[in-house]
Amino acid sequence: MSESKEQKIEDLYDVVVIGAGNGGLIAAAELARRSTKILLLEQHNLPGGFASSFVRGRFEFETSLHELYDWGASSNKGGTRRLLERYELDSEFVAVPEAYRLILTDPDECMDVVMPFGIDAYLDTIEKEAPGSRESVRKFFDLAEDINRATNYIGQTKGHPDQNVLLKEHSNFLKTTAYSVEDVQNALNIPEKARSILNAYWVYLLVPMSRVNFTIFVSMVHGYILKGAYIPKFRSHDYTTALDTRIRELGGKIEYNTTVEKILVENGKVVGVETSKGDKIKTNHVVCNASPTLTYNKLIHPKSEVPEIAYKEINARRHGVSTFVVYLGLDATADELGLTDYSYFINNNMNTDELYESLNNLETPKVQATICLNRAIPDCSPPGTCIVSITSAFLPGVWDAVKPEDYFTLKNKIAEDLINTLETATGAPIKEHIEEIEVATPQTISRFTRAYNGVVYGYEPESWDSFVPRLMTMNDEKHIEGLEFCGGYGKRCHGYSSALKDGETAALLTLQDLIQKGELK
């Protein structure tokens, strides 16, 4: 009896959602919208995970988001926008002015080009920079349209497409889905300089063009260029807290500062969860925003309930990168500094195999993705100031070799090197105008999220493990009945837009299971 009084959370739910990141929030909102009794548990004291913000001095920094793709204007809505608008959130999103500015610093491959949104404008610019490339790049975008139609069809069939339909109506999808970006660009005869420009978005996947799956890359590039990029006007924390409010309005329950320590399993089926506070909650369905690696290795209880095939699957996959971010609050405006653009991709060159390998060294990476937030949101900082964030990355485990006594020295050196690179590439006098600076390393990310090695990018989307194979095999990878995964490690791979949509997919699969079993009242 005393045990019952001490329990802080009601002990029976249709679904427990673990983690209030992008995927978990959407999964909870969608299930609550469908009159499901849900409980969302989050280890931190606020929602969003990486989709958050923080304040230093008089600046509010965006934690990680650079831009959302597949959003679109009100007259040309993308899937991400339609998804979030479903929940009638009180959040405003604004358009990013240009696609990106690509700067290559290697003297042998020097380049500085600003690329616009819009397919025709993009093709015009790339033809101007790389004469003779327009037709081959146009074929690249034509393939993207074919592939998007095919992936929409696969999604509608819940991973069970009719092979005859694929053969007759989506042959280009079948011809390209097993290949890397490099393979297809070779087949299209895209000139080298045009590839350098076209492949600038690789930084959002950080897998070499020789390995990254063509389908996911072309879909991402097409989504950005066709519909533009958007960001929340009041940082990601604005829409994630709005989702919190909406989940509660729909009848869902949320508990923060509550860590799930165990997913309880009996005879291959979920029967509940146990929290760090000692609460034991009964449920037959869990949607987990944590990675399968973490879940199978640490959360499933007892461990004997994890089948061998689950370990084989997670061990076969490669973890993506963790990030290194320099957040800068500057006491001068973007105009005064000469920062004319929102998004800067600054690399030594566009040899993505070489750039990727540089992320495996404990030294300053040769790639950075930098934004000047004021170029999209002019009033995001006090008058006479601006916000800049520089993002680079490291492969998992690299920072494990750093000795505690060397940590701050190394962190500050890499931050200074990245600032120097930005100054040299743009001519902006950054260092003399720093009012606030914060530096996040992979170790910072690991402490904040408790993710394996601070991994931000989920599993690497190689051709055998990209979102199409994951969607096609999602029914075969259910190794514990009642357990679904969502978020950056899920079926749609990493990234904000992908994680949001993956939350919806996990919710719909769980809802389908509830209905089939007659568990939904």
**pLDDT 10s digits, 167-199:** 788 888 888 888 999 999 999 999 999 999 999
List of E strands, 234-347:
253-255, 260-266, 269-275, 280-282, 286-288, 300-301, 322-330, 343-347
Mean pLDDT along residues 195-220: 95
Whole-structure pTM value: 0.94
Q: What would the pLDDT profile of 316-367 be if each residue is shown by its tens digit?
A: 999 999 999 999 999 999 999 999 999 999 999 999 999 999 999 999 999 9
Tell whether the model's pLDDT for residue 158 goes beyond 70: no
Query: pLDDT tens for residues 68-115?
Result: 999 999 998 999 999 999 999 989 999 999 999 999 999 988 999 999
The C-alpha atoms of residue 173 and residue 170 are separated, in whole angstroms, by 5
Residue ranges per domain, the chain? 2-51+237-306+480-516, 66-95+320-453, 120-226
Do β-strands 260-266 and 300-301 pair in parallel, antiparallel, or remain unpaired? parallel
Task: Classify residue 180 by its DSSP letter.
Answer: B
Pick the CATH number of 2-51+237-306+480-516 from 3.30.1490.20, 3.50.50.60, 3.40.50.150, 1.10.10.10: 3.50.50.60
Q: Which residues contact 459 (CB under 8 A, 6 or more apart)?
A: 317, 318, 319, 320, 465, 489, 493, 494
Residue with tokens 């009033």: 379
Coil, helix or strand for 268? coil
CATH number of 66-95+320-453: 3.90.660
Q: What is the CA radius of gyration of the chain?
A: 23
CB < 8 Å & 24+ apart, contacts of 225-228: 225/99, 225/117, 225/118, 225/119, 225/122, 225/141, 226/118, 226/119, 227/69, 227/70, 227/71, 227/72, 227/73, 227/76, 227/78, 227/117, 228/71, 228/72, 228/73, 228/95, 228/96, 228/117
What is residue 390's predicted lDDT score, i.e. its pLDDT?
98
Q: What is the pLDDT of residue 275?
A: 95
Q: What's the whole-number average pLDDT of the chain?
A: 93
- What pLDDT does residue 413 have? 98
- Of the pLDDT bands very low, low, confident and very high (cuts 50, 70, 90), residue 439 is very high
pLDDT exceeding 90 applies to what percent of the chain?
Answer: 79
Q: Which pLDDT belongs to residue 200?
A: 97
Closest among 373, 493, 283 to 67, alpha carbons compared? 373
DSSP string, 395-432: -TTGGGG--GGGHHHHHHHHHHHHHHHHHHHH----GG
Q: Which of 397, 69, 48 is nearest to 228 (CA)?
A: 69
Report the alpha-carbon distance of residue 38 to residue 253 in Å, rounded: 6
Q: Where are the beta strands (DSSP E) in 209-275?
A: 230-232, 253-255, 260-266, 269-275
Q: Which pLDDT does position 318 carry in this prediction?
A: 93
Q: Which of 163-177, 219-233, 270-284, 372-386 is the least confident region? A: 163-177
Q: Are strands 230-232 and 93-95 parallel, antiparallel or unpaired?
A: antiparallel
Q: What is the pLDDT of residues 38-54, one digit of tens each?
A: 999 999 999 999 899 99
